[in-house]
Structure 1
Amino acid sequence: MRLPYVPDPPNFTSEEDKAVEQRVRQRRGEKGLIALDRTLLHAPPVADGWNSFLGSIRTKTSLPTSIRETAICRVAVLNKAWYEWESHSPILESAEVLAVLNSSPRQPLADLGEKLGAVLAYTDAMTLDVRVPDSVFEQLKTVGFSEKEIVEITATVAAYNCVSRFLVALDVGERNAQTGPKEGGKE
């Protein structure tokens, strides 16, 4: 970790900062503050916005869990954000985990199914190239994603690229030395 984690509980004196901490705790539930939260809480207004935005991406979209988590995990693999991978990969089915890990960038496994394959291709393009080829975008529509779902997929990939870059830049969870995912997802 490049910065010390904020203590748990934080030593906030401002009522506004204490309220931010409580909103983060409320979203996390029994899990309590995680390393990411304890890093973000160095800047409570940033932590507050992050909590609201990522909370919406994780819990308020219409995407099926497999679609959302496949995109998140693919971003983690592409960006070598192993802390992110370890948090999200246990949510995936084993076939999805293998597809996310074993398919070459820009060439997802065909046997994953049309929808997940389209999501992987789109995630690869957004993450590696930023500019998405028309053919990759059209594939999302061809396999039946609605306009709302395409916005949600795009927001998910964009948000988790932000998350992974934050995690790696600050070495949150001390995972930068890892060369790949830990067996079984979590430590």
Structure 2
Amino acid sequence: MGRKTVHVSDFSGKVLQPDDEIVRVVVLEHPDLVAGPVQLEAQPIEIESIDDAALDVAVVEIYDRHGGGEPRRVTLTASEFDALATDVPMAQLLRTAERIRPPKGSRKAAEKVDYATVEHAGKPHRGKVTEEEASLVREQLEEINKRLADEGLRQIDPTDPEHATRYGFPLPN
């Protein structure tokens, strides 16, 4: 029994031909997004107006008594945010404002990632895939692909010759 993968545009439902260019769109934030980032596929023509529709926005965090100790993240148009500066123009205010750095404890140290764990197996990396990682990917492919998708990363396709070689799947005919 063989497998055939058919790509369909998530935006239009149109079947994409093997020679069609496919654009990957990762949705990071949306009011209807409930379980983290997702990826969608489309043809370039379907999303060509996306840059024209893009908004100039300011994303700010507000630290006040209403947040219960946590900042509130607010996104507003850049012009609405700029209008809040009444003494000097916002551009000047931003150039001269005090720079902040994340607290030392919040910066991730350069940790060595163990790709032979369910938490990291299958993530794209430059290093050699160990037999432990490859075995884990082969044995728990569905779970690993779900995690990769939830993290907005490419999923592993055992029929892709590169993935098959990298993770020890049988090579497709």
Whether TM exceeds 0.5 here: the answer is no
- Rg larger in structure: 2
TM-score range normalised by the length of the shorter chain: under 0.3
Structure number with higher helix proportion: 1
Compute the TM-score of the two structures, normalised by the length of structure 1.
0.18
Answer 1 or 2: higher relative contact order, Cα 8 Å, separation at least 6: 1
Structure number with higher strand proportion: 2
Compute the TM-score of the two structures, normalised by the length of structure 2.
0.19
